[in-house]
């Protein structure tokens, strides 16, 4: 292995491990701000470091410090301490491992070498996801069972039954999708979605599988135990469900595990149905060919976006009543300075690229970076859909949940398989 | 070679898990050690470059079936005191060992008669999803389809039976 190989292995694994973790912070922030937005209130706006609140992101640091320094209690009535400690780890690790097979950019071609841009370049793709998601159930079952608490057991039972039931419609929705793509490899699926249908519609999964995408998204919501399917932690009935006995970092692992699972399933939905890293109408080869015009367009676009973002911050980040020397406006000035220096740095980097480095390897790396950005942006939007649904819909009743899964989604998924295969055989 | 060490690691874990399954008294401990065995088996399949079998082992056995068993253990809340007393177990154990001993002798003879040659893994693509699929859908199409329809009927039947009670 050359130095470049080792570097890329490290980079890809670092991406696969640290991006979901960073997204935990972003998602917790998005959840709070989103909740505040939907409920017409302010959200976290007090925590600050030297007056800088970063739009509420500092609240996460406060929460993290609180959880890390809290006393780690294992209640005395718990007999199986090993499973009690193992459960949160399982939930968190399985959520993180699912991301390992999701591609975040097209195959990177450097010279004569091809690098598959996944944390673990495995070609079983979606099967790995299904396998690892199955292990997440163990964490929930063990947590509920080892808590030795009625609420815990009830929550664990609900969560486990729900995850097991919704794996079936999810798997069946995937079957018809696999028939369309003709592969289980997520990288190949992503490449497939770079093509155009009838020459002008991007061939994304949701265009080809309009019914499948709905089934899959509903099942994915249920798999991640998110509202409207979060009966496992229905506060009004069973307190906090399977993590009622947990405190400190063990609780934090459940909490982070939920957000990592949300990020990973958003990433998977994007990969399967919303074109993965593909920028619509610009597949990898087009981007590489027209790298210079694209870069010039980005250089022109960046200041415009920066200007509007800065104006938006100026409008919103101020006190809503009269204050002398408004500290929030000072904060905004610093943010805008930071924003413009970021824009300036990006412009300089792009200019250096244009003048000195364009062509060959640099184009490939630039395109890969663009695709990573696109992938993360799409995933971010999909995560917002999770937050959006959570604060819009009320929680279902448990029998309703099982009924939707077995009596609505399952027949629909089977129907979808028949229709899809008929279309593929007759027109494909 | 790293694969050799991995093989010994997985084999050891698989045997330990199987021992745990029969030695542990608490059903949850037994089930969890069996999960360990199943995962180690998946690792062994992966070492043999049977990627599809590796994934299926994890999805079906270690994932779905064992989580159902854990679910039932949790649902019935089986504790050690619920298990039947078994005063004659040492007697049964001794009898079992005597009955099984010839089979063990057979197994030892088989493993000794294996040629001591270096075994190489098949060429690229062996055991992959596409290769197994092609084999399955060309040579074994009819049995595969019959089993699929059987499973589908079972699935639909379960849903119909579960839904019927709601109507009354």
Spatial distance between the Cα atoms of A212 and A420, rounded to a whole number of angstroms: 10
**Residue A166 pLDDT > 90:** no
Spatial distance between the Cα atoms of A192 and A273, rounded to a whole number of angstroms: 11
For residue B40, what is the domain's CATH number? 1.20.120.1200
Residues B71 and B132 in one domain: no
Residues B85 and B135 in one domain: no
Contact A164 B52 (CB under 8 A): no
A to B CB pairs, distance under 8 Å: 82
Contact B129 A123 (CB under 8 A): yes
Indicate whether A89 belongs to any domain: yes
Spatial distance between the Cα atoms of A407 and A428, rounded to a whole number of angstroms: 30
Residues B49 and B99 in one domain: yes
The domain containing residue B134 runs over which residues? 128-168
Spatial distance between the Cα atoms of B130 and A186, rounded to a whole number of angstroms: 14
Task: Say how many domains are in chain B.
Answer: 2
Q: Report DSSP state, residue A395.
A: P
Indicate whether A326 belongs to any domain: no
Average pLDDT over all residues of chain B = 83
A108-110/A201-202 β-pairing: unpaired
**Residue A41 pLDDT > 70:** yes
Indicate whether A170 belongs to any domain: yes
Confidence of residue B121 (pLDDT cuts 50, 70, 90): low
Task: Say how many domains are in chain A.
Answer: 1
Q: Which residues of A fall within a CB distance of 8 Å from B131?
A: none
**Residue A55 pLDDT > 60:** yes
Residues B104 and B168 in one domain: no
What is the C-alpha radius of gyration for chain A, rounded to an integer number of angstroms? 23
Residues B154 and B78 in one domain: no
Residues B103 and B154 in one domain: no
Contact A164 B67 (CB under 8 A): yes
Residues B13 and B84 in one domain: yes
Residues B22 and B69 in one domain: yes
| DSSP-assigned beta bridge partners for residue A355 | none
Q: Report DSSP state, residue A229.
A: S
B25, A97 Cβ separation under 8 angstroms: no
pLDDT reported for residue B12: 93
pLDDT reported for residue B89: 79
Q: Which residue has the tokens 């695709």?
A: A371
A84 C-beta neighbours (distance < 10 Å), count: 21
Query: Helical H runs in A274-326?
Result: 284-289, 291-316
Contact B70 A138 (CB under 8 A): yes
Q: What is the DSSP string of A52-71?
A: B-GGGTHHHHHHHHHHHHS-
Model ipTM value: 0.79
Indicate whether A377 belongs to any domain: yes
Query: Which residue of B59, B73, B156 is in closest CB contact with A131?
Result: B59
Residue B160's closest chain A neighbor by CA? Answer: A407
| DSSP-assigned beta bridge partners for residue A202 | A196
A128, A22 Cβ separation under 8 angstroms: no
**Residue A352 pLDDT > 70:** yes
Residues B105 and B30 in one domain: yes
Spatial distance between the Cα atoms of A132 and A96, rounded to a whole number of angstroms: 9
Indicate whether A159 belongs to any domain: yes
Give mean pLDDT, residues A99-119: 81
Min distance B109 CA to chain A CA atoms (Å)? 37
The domain containing residue A170 runs over which residues? 3-281+359-427
Give mean pLDDT, residues A415-424: 89
Q: How far, rounded to the nearest angstrom, does the alpha carbon of residue A345 sit from its chain's CA centroid?
A: 28
Residues B82 and B162 in one domain: no
pLDDT reported for residue B146: 93
Q: Which two tokens stand for residue A37?
A: 């937005």
Contact B129 A153 (CB under 8 A): no
| pLDDT tens, residue by residue, B56-70 | 888 888 888 888 888
Residues 6+ apart with CB under 8 A from A389: A221, A226, A227, A228
What proportion of chain A, given as a percentage, has pLDDT over 90? 5
Residues B102 and B142 in one domain: no
Q: Tell me the backbone φ, ψ of residue A196, rounded to 5 degrees.
A: -115, 140
Over B62-106, what HEC string results?
HHHHHHHHHHHHHHHCCCHHHCCCCCCHHHHHHHHHHHHHHHHHH
Indicate whether A99 belongs to any domain: yes
Spatial distance between the Cα atoms of A213 and A209, rounded to a whole number of angstroms: 6
Nearest to residue A284, comparing CAs of A209, A371, A165? A371
Helix or strand run (H / E) with residue B116: none
**Residue B88 pLDDT > 90:** no
pLDDT reported for residue A257: 87
Indicate whether A19 belongs to any domain: yes
Best of A134, A152, A418 to disrupt the B interface by mutation (most B CBs within 10 Å)?
A134
| pLDDT tens, residue by residue, B1-27 | 788 888 899 999 999 999 998 888 888
Spatial distance between the Cα atoms of A385 and A379, rounded to a whole number of angstroms: 10
Collect all residues from B whose CB is shorter than 8 A from any CB in A.
Answer: 28, 32, 35, 51-52, 54-56, 58-59, 62-64, 67-68, 70-71, 73-75, 77, 128-130, 152, 155-156, 159, 162-163, 166
Residues B91 and B111 in one domain: yes
Confidence of residue B119 (pLDDT cuts 50, 70, 90): low
Contact A138 B55 (CB under 8 A): no
A218, A265 Cβ separation under 8 angstroms: no
């Amino acid at each position: 292995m050359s130095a470049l190989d080792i570097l890329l292995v490290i980079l890809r694994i670092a991406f696969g491990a640290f991006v979901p973790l960073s997204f935990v912070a972003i998602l917790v922030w998005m959840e709070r701000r989103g909740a505040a937005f939907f409920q017409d209130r302010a959200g976290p706006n007090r925590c600050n470091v030297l007056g800088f609140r970063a739009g509420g992101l500092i609240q996460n640091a406060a929460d993290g410090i609180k959880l890390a320094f809290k006393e780690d209690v294992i209640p005395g009535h718990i007999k199986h301490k090993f499973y009690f400690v193992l459960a949160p780890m399982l939930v968190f690790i399985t959520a993180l491992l699912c991301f390992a097979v999701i591609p975040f950019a097209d195959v990177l071609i450097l010279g004569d070498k091809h690098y598959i841009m996944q944390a673990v370049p495995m070609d079983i793709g979606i099967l790995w996801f299904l396998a690892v998601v199955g292990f997440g159930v163990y964490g929930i079952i063990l947590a509920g069972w080892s808590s030795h608490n009625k609420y815990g057991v009830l929550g664990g039972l609900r969560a486990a039954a729900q995850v097991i039931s919704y794996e079936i419609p999810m798997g069946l929705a995937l079957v018809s999708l696999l028939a369309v793509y003709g592969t289980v490899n997520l990288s190949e699926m992503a490449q497939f979605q770079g093509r155009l249908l009838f020459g002008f519609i991007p061939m994304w999964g949701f265009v080809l599988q309009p019914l499948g995408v709905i089934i899959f998204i509903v099942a994915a919501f249920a798999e991640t135990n998110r509202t409207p399917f979060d009966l496992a932690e229905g506060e009004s009935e069973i307190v906090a469900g399977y993590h009622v006995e947990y405190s400190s970092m063990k609780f934090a692992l459940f909490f982070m595990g939920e957000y990592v699972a949300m990020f990973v399933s958003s990433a998977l939905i994007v990969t399967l149905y919303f074109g993965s890293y593909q920028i619509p109408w610009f597949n990898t080869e087009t981007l590489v060919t027209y790298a210079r015009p694209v870069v010039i367009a980005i250089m022109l676009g960046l200041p415009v976006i920066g200007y509007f973002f800065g104006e938006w911050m100026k409008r919103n980040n101020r006190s809503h009543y009269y204050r002398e020397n408004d500290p929030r406006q000072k904060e905004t000035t610093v943010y805008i300075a930071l924003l413009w220096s970021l824009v300036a740095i990006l412009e300089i980097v792009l200019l250096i690229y244009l003048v000195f480095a364009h062509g060959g390897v640099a184009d490939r790396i630039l395109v890969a970076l663009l695709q990573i950005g696109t992938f993360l942006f799409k995933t971010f939007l999909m995560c917002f859909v999770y937050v959006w649904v959570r604060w819009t819909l009320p929680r279902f009743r448990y029998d309703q949940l099982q009924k939707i899964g077995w009596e609505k989604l399952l027949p629909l998924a089977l129907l979808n398989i028949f229709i899809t295969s008929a279309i593929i055989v007759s027109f494909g | 070679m790293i694969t050799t060490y991995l093989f010994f690691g997985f084999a050891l874990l698989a045997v330990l898990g199987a021992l745990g399954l029969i030695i542990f008294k608490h059903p949850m401990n037994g089930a969890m050690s069996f999960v360990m065995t199943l995962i180690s088996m998946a690792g062994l399949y992966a070492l043999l470059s049977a990627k599809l079998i590796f994934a299926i082992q994890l999805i079906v056995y270690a994932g779905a079936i064992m989580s159902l068993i854990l679910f039932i253990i949790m649902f019935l809340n089986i504790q050690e005191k619920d298990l039947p007393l078994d005063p004659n177990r040492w007697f049964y154990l001794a009898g079992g060992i005597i009955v099984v001993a010839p089979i063990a002798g057979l197994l030892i003879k088989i493993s000794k008669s294996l040629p001591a040659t270096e075994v190489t893994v098949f060429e690229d693509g062996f055991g992959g999803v596409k290769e197994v699929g092609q084999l399955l859908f060309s040579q074994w199409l009819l049995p595969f389809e019959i089993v699929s329809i059987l499973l589908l009927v079972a699935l639909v039947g379960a849903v119909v039976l579960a839904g019927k009670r709601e109507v009354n």
